[in-house]
Structure formats: structure tokens, C-alpha cells
Amino acid sequence: MSSMEATQLFGEEHVRRYRETDGDVGHIWKEGSTILLLTTTGRRTGRETTAPLIYGLDGHTPVVVASKGGAPDHPGWFENLAKTPEVGVQIKAEHFRARARVADGDERERLWELMNEIWPHYDEYATRTDREIPVVVLERL
């Protein structure tokens, strides 16, 4: 798969190719953004689901944004965190457990700026919704 084809990956296909290649395919995505795999436990089903998400690093700590493209409601993976904040994370070939928490105040503002450097569309997404888009810190366990 070429790097051009890798930028077209989405959803379950993105997860599958990322896992098969330990991120060789799928870690670098559109506009040079980087992708991790976040595995949450379903708040209703109790089943694990995995989402490919753009991430940044605050030191060694991964950060993701629950933007859902500026939709009025939060993404399902984010809703799952309220019930079960312990998650699985894969960054390239590295797998680890983490506890997800929502950044607030000055920390949120700093991390929002960091994430907008990686994916400038977040500011645009924020104009599409009345909700404050959560910035999620994935602290290693």
C-alpha cells in the first residue's frame, strides 16, 4: 500500500491495516498527522471497540481530541470513557494501558493549541458546534 493509499484509510479498515503492520501503514495519515489506536469498553455493550485517532504528545503522554468533525454530540469512544476510563492504546508497535481524563482550564487551552498544530481543522470543527470539544489525555498506567 502506498503512502497515498494510507491517507485514504478510515474506520475499521484503518484499524485492521494499522494492526497488521504495527503502524507501518496508517500511523502517518492525512496532512502528515499521526494516528494511534484507542480501544475503549462499550458503555452499553461492554465490548471493546477500537478507533483510529489523530494524536499528539505532551512530553511522552498521548493526547487526542473528541471532535467528531464538529458534530453536536460527542463521539462514541468518548462517551465510553465516562463509564470506563481505562483504555488500550497502540502507537505503532507499542501497546499499553492508559487512564483517560479530560483536560480543562489552562491545560486544555495549551493542549488544544498543540493539537491544532497537528490538525488545524480542529479550530474549524469548534465553530460547527455549541459543545466544548474535549481534549483527552491518555496517562500511562
State the pLDDT confidence band at 130, using cuts at 50, 70 and 90: very high
CA angle 113, 119, 121 (to 5 degrees): 95
**pLDDT tens-digit series, residues 32-60:** 999 999 999 999 999 999 999 999 999 99
Number of helices followed by number of strands (H, E) in the chain: 5, 6
For residue 135 the three cell numbers come to 481534549
Calculate what percentage of the chain has a pLDDT beyond 70: 95
Q: Is the pLDDT of residue 101 over 80?
A: yes
pLDDT at 2 over 70: no
Looking at residue 95, its pLDDT comes to 98
Identify the pLDDT of residue 54: 98
The domain segmentation of the chain, as residue ranges, is 3-140
Q: What is the residue-averaged pLDDT of the chain?
A: 94
Fold entry, domain 3-140: Pnp Oxidase; Chain A (2.30.110)
